Amino acid sequence: MKKFEVQEDFLLDGKPFKIMSGAIHYFRVLPEDWYHSLYNLKALGFNTVETYIPWNVHEAKEGEYDFSGRYDIKRFVETAEELGLLVILRPSPYICAEWEFGGLPAWLLPYKDMRIRSSDPAFMEKVSRYYEKLFEVITPLQLDHGGPVIMMQVENEYGSYGEDKEYLKLLYDLMLKLGVTVPIFTSDGAWRATQEAGTLTEANILTTGNFGSRSKENFKDLKDFHESKGKKWPLMCMEFWDGWFNRWNDPIIKRDGQDLAHDVKEALEIGSVNLYMFHGGTNFGLMNGCSARGRTDLPQVTSYDYDAPLNEQGNPTEKYYALQKTMQELFPDSEQQEPLVKDSMDLKAIPLNQKVSLFSVIDEIVEKQQAKYPETMEELGQQYGYTLYRSRVKKDSNEEFYRVIDGSDRIQFFFNEEKKATQYQEEIGEKIYIAPKNDVNQLDILVENMGRVNYGHKLLADTQQKGIRTGIMSDLHFILEWEHYCLEFTKPLSIDYDKKWKENTPSFYRYTPTIDEPKDTFINMESFGKGIVLVNGFNIGRYWNVGPTLSLYIPKSLLQKGENEIVVFETEGIWSETISLEKEPKFKKL
C-alpha cells in the first residue's frame, strides 16, 4: 500500500516528492467535462489535483444529502486517479472560494443563537452530522486505503477569521474519529498573525501559505513560522493565485502569463505549489459569492474563469503554454502531452417563441405561503433566488409613500403590476411615493438574493438572511397579511405561455433553437437587462447588463440534437426578439 508522509520533505513511498498541483472544483465543472480538465492538468506535467468540498451542495436541505451526479466527489477523485493524478481534498465546513456563503448552507441562518465557524456545540452538532455522511464517501479514497488522496484540510483560512483553537481541535478530532489517516493541513496567509491564529501546531498539523507572488519572501515567512514552533516542515503554497475573480460593474482582472510563469518557477524552485485556479469553471445556478465592502456588498459574476491556465470552458490559454515552457525548463524529464481543446459553435438570430409575465403564472409555478408579516427567505425554507411578496392595500390618500424596512439584496416595487422603484442595498428603506387610483391595490415586491458573502466578518451579519427581515410600511405603520412566492430555479418549471404578457414586468421569454451538432457555446445577453437563463431546464446562471460579462457559458452536455429550450427570466423589462449563441464570450468595456 502506498504511503504519503510529511517529514522535512513530502515523502511518497519514502522518497522526496514535490507537489505540483492545480485546483479544479468538481462543482463548477459538469461531470461530462471532468476528464477534459483533469487530462489537461496531467498533460502539463503536474501530478496532483486539489478541490474544495462545499457543504451547501451536499446538504442543500437540512438532513438531505446528495453525493451523486454533479456532486459525485467519489467519481471525480476516481477520474483523477485513472489519469495518474494524486488528490488533495479540502472538506472544511467553510471554503470561501467565492462561493455562495463560503459553502456554508443557508439553512443554518434561522438558528439565531448559533455561532457559525466556532466551537458552539449547536454548530458542531450540524457539522458532525454532515461529516459522518461526507467521510463515508471520501475516507475510502485515501492513499493508504488504495485511493489517490494524499492530504486533507481542516477548516480554511481560519487565521483570517478567528482564533477559536477549541473549534479547530474539535474539527481535527472529528476527522480522525471518522477515519482520516492521511496528513492534515491548514492554509492561511503566509505571515505570522494568520498562521498563528489559524493553526494547531501542537496537533502536528502542517501549515501552508496562500499567495500569488513574492515567493521567496512568503516562503521565508512560512519557514520562520515553522521554526518558531520547532518544526522543519516542507514549504507549500496551497493557493498560488494565478488570476482573480470578477464582480459586477467592475473591469475584468487579468494577469500576464509570462509574469505568472516567472513567479511559479520561483515558487517551485523553493517548495510545492497548488495553482489556484487551474480551471475555474462556472458558478452555475445561483452559487456566486459576494465580497463584503462596508454597507454595500459586491456580488460576483456567474463566470469563474479566473483568468486561469484553462479558460471557463476548460481550454488552454496563453498562461497554460507559458507554464508548459516553465515545466520543461525546471523538470526536463517530466511527461507532457498536447492538451485537449473543445470546439465551440455559433447559432445566430434564434427567434423568440413565446413570452409571459411572471405575475400571470406565479400561482401555477410556485406554491403560495401566507403569513401575517413578511418572512425571510430562510424562514420560508428558501435559500437562493427570488421571493415575491404580495399584499392588498386600501387607498388612504391621493399621495402615499411606502418603505421596505431591512431587506436584502435588491428589490423591485410594483403597484398594481406597475414598476414604481428599484432599490439596491443602501437605498432600501427610502420612501417610494405612490398616487393610488383604486380603492384596493395590489402590492408586489420582488426581492433578489444576489449572493451571500463568502469571506470576512459579514458571515455573521443579519444581512446574510435574504428577503425582507422586518416589514413593509405604508406611511408610519407596517402592512399585514402577506403572500410569499419562492423562486429558487433549482428545478424545471411548467410555465403556461398562453397567459398574458405585460410590458415592464418580470417575465419569461422562451426560445427553441434546433441544433444539428451540439457543441460548447456562449449565449449573448447584451440585449437583456438582468436575470437568469435556463437551458433545457438547467439554470446556467445570472446575467446583468452592467457587465463586465455579457454572456453565459453553455456546456455541450446541456444541449441536445434537435430542438432545445432556452428560457430567459428577465426582471428589468429589457428583452430581445432574438438571441444568439456564439463561439466566444462577450464582455463590456468598463
Query: Is-catalytic flag, 157?
Result: yes
Same domain, 473 and 518: no
> Nearest 5°: phi and psi at 200?
-135, 75
Residue 363 is assigned to a structural domain of this protein: no
Same domain, 471 and 536: no
Distance of CA 509 to the CA centre of its chain: 26
β-partners of residue 418 are: 415
Same domain, 299 and 403: no
Bridge pairing between strands 48-52 and 86-90: parallel
Given 457, 480, 503, the domain boundary residue is: 480
Angstrom distance (rounded) from CA 65 to CA 75:
16
Residue that has been written with the C-alpha cell 524552485 in this structure:
269
Angstrom distance (rounded) from CA 60 to CA 218:
37
pLDDT tens for each residue of 367-399: 999 999 999 999 999 999 999 999 999 999 999
Same domain, 72 and 221: yes
Under 8 Å between Cβ of 157 and 193: no
Q: DSSP character for 478? A: E
pLDDT of residue 202: 75
Least Cα distance to 388 among 505, 310, 284, 539 occurs for 505
> What pTM was computed for the model?
0.98
Residue 431, all three cell numbers: 420612501
Least Cα distance to 513 among 544, 549, 554 occurs for 554
Under 8 Å between Cβ of 116 and 167: no
- DSSP-derived secondary structure for 298-326: EEBPSB--TT-SB-TTS-B-HHHHHHHHH
Residues 6+ apart with CB under 8 A from 197: 158, 159, 160, 162, 163, 188
Amino acid at 67: F
Which residue segment(s) compose the domain that 235 sits in?
4-330
Amino acid at 399: E
Annotated catalytic residue, options 239, 375, 448, 570: 239
Count other Cβ atoms within 10 Å, centred on residue 589.
7
Same domain, 505 and 469: no
Share of the chain above pLDDT 70, in %: 100
Residues making up the chain, counted from first to last: 590
Residue 589 is assigned to a structural domain of this protein: no
- Find the helix packing angle between 121-138 and 165-177, rounded to 10°: 30
Same domain, 505 and 428: no
Angle at 278 between CA 276 and CA 284, to 5 degrees: 90
Under 8 Å between Cβ of 137 and 53: no
Residue 341 is assigned to a structural domain of this protein: no
5 half-sphere exposure, CB direction, 13 A CA radius:
10
Same domain, 175 and 151: yes
Angstrom distance (rounded) from CA 195 to CA 505:
51
Tens of pLDDT, residue by residue, the chain (590 residues)? 899 999 999 999 999 999 999 999 999 999 999 999 999 999 999 999 999 999 999 999 999 999 999 999 999 999 999 999 999 999 999 999 999 999 999 999 999 999 999 999 999 999 999 999 999 999 999 999 999 999 999 999 999 999 999 999 999 999 999 999 999 999 999 999 999 999 987 788 999 999 999 999 999 999 999 999 999 999 999 999 999 999 999 999 999 999 999 999 999 999 999 999 999 999 999 999 999 877 778 999 999 999 999 999 999 999 999 999 999 999 998 899 999 999 999 999 999 999 999 999 999 999 999 999 999 999 999 999 999 999 999 999 999 999 999 999 999 999 999 999 999 988 999 999 999 999 999 999 999 999 999 999 999 988 999 999 999 999 999 999 999 999 999 988 999 999 999 999 999 999 999 999 999 999 999 999 999 999 999 999 999 999 999 999 999 999 999 999 999 999 999 999 999 999 999 999 98
Cα Rg of the chain, angstroms = 25
Same domain, 119 and 21: yes
Using alpha carbons, list the distances in angstroms from residue 423 to 436, 471, 590: 20, 15, 22
Given 449, 480, 511, the domain boundary residue is: 480
Amino acid at 293: R
CA end-to-end distance (rounded Å), the chain: 55
Count other Cβ atoms within 10 Å, centred on residue 256.
12
Annotated catalytic residue, options 59, 98, 155, 157: 157
> Nearest 5°: phi and psi at 397?
-160, 175
Put residue 385 in one of left, alpha, beta given phi > 0 → left and psi -120 to 50 → alpha: left
Three-state DSSP class for residue 389: strand
Q: Residue 231 sits in a domain of what CATH number?
A: 3.20.20.80
Looking at 309-400, list the stretches that DSSP marks H as alpha helix, in order from N- to C-terminal side.
318-330, 358-365
Residue 226, all three cell numbers: 515553522
Same domain, 555 and 496: yes
Residue 365 is assigned to a structural domain of this protein: no
Given 440, 457, 480, the domain boundary residue is: 480
Residue 367 is assigned to a structural domain of this protein: no
Amino acid at 552: L
Q: Residue 496 sits in a domain of what CATH number?
A: 2.60.120.260
Residue 125, all three cell numbers: 452538532
Residue that has been written with the C-alpha cell 445570472 in this structure:
542
- b/e map 166-178, b = 16+ CB within 10 Å: ebbbbbbebbeeb
Residue 486 is assigned to a structural domain of this protein: no
Angstrom distance (rounded) from CA 165 to CA 509:
52
54 half-sphere exposure, CB direction, 13 A CA radius:
25
Same domain, 565 and 539: yes
pLDDT of residue 425: 87
97 half-sphere exposure, CB direction, 13 A CA radius:
35
Q: How many domains does the chain contain in total?
A: 3
Same domain, 432 and 351: no
Under 8 Å between Cβ of 71 and 44: no
Residue 535 is assigned to a structural domain of this protein: yes
Under 8 Å between Cβ of 473 and 405: yes
Residue 507 is assigned to a structural domain of this protein: yes
Same domain, 425 and 295: no
Angstrom distance (rounded) from CA 45 to CA 330:
11
